[in-house]
């Protein structure tokens, strides 16, 4: 079903996602993608801006878990300095990693937002798991090889939604 590819929200960057807005929506936890959502896919460590965003969430008692389809080393090197739990080899859009993260955060579905830059993994997986989904614009346009195929499919789905008037944002 195409509607599973439709995010609940769309923002330019993860930094637009702020604790007060999340709290108004009853969100107490975030499951976020890593590559091209928090940093460019080829950047190894969190930037100052990412560190500040994680600290802000912590100050407001909003739990954050990183789930990524990338390998353990990549995700661990990024997540450990932020002292944030992570799931690597997540196999998104399959549901297992989303359910495991929700359970570890001890939150209900309604209390979790999923953030990511890809419709075919982050948004589809989040929607199917019954979570609130927020699509962000990818940080860089270049991608790992496998993602390029997903991107061309994604473009067609976004164009379809745009034609149907389901989304209004411009790229
Ligand atoms: Mg990504």
Domain positions in the chain are: 2-140
Calculate what percentage of the chain has a pLDDT beyond 90.
80
> How remote is the C-alpha of 31 from its chain's centroid?
6
The pLDDT tens digits for 22-63 are 999 999 999 999 999 999 988 999 999 999 999 999 999 999
The pLDDT tens digits for 135-168 are 999 998 776 666 778 888 989 999 898 898 888 7
Ligand 1 centre and the CA of 116: distance in Å?
6
- At the topology level, CATH places domain 2-140 in Rossmann fold (3.40.50)
Ligand 1 centre and the CA of 84: distance in Å?
17
The pLDDT tens digits for 99-141 are 999 999 999 999 999 999 999 999 999 999 999 999 999 998 7
Ligand 1 centre and the CA of 77: distance in Å?
16
Q: How far apart are CA 120 and CA 92, in angstroms?
A: 8
Ligand 1 centre and the CA of 94: distance in Å?
15
Maximum CA extent, the chain: 43
Ligand 1 centre and the CA of 40: distance in Å?
9
């Amino acid at each position: 079903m195409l509607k599973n590819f439709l995010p609940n929200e769309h923002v330019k960057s993860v930094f637009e996602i702020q604790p007060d807005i999340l709290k108004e929506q009853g969100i107490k936890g975030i499951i976020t993608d890593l590559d091209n959502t928090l940093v460019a896919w080829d950047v190894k460590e969190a930037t100052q801006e990412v560190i500040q965003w994680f600290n802000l969430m912590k100050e407001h008692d909003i739990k954050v878990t990183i789930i990524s389809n990338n390998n353990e080393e990549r995700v661990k090197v990024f997540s450990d300095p932020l002292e944030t739990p992570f799931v690597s080899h997540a196999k998104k859009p399959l549901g297992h990693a989303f359910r495991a993260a929700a359970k570890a955060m001890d939150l209900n579905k309604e209390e979790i937002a999923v953030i990511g830059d890809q419709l075919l993994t982050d948004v589809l997986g989040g929607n199917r798991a019954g979570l609130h989904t927020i699509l962000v614009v990818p940080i860089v346009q270049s991608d790992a090889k496998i993602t390029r195929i997903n991107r061309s499919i994604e473009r067609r789905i976004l164009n379809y939604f745009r034609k149907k008037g389901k989304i209004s944002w411009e790229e």
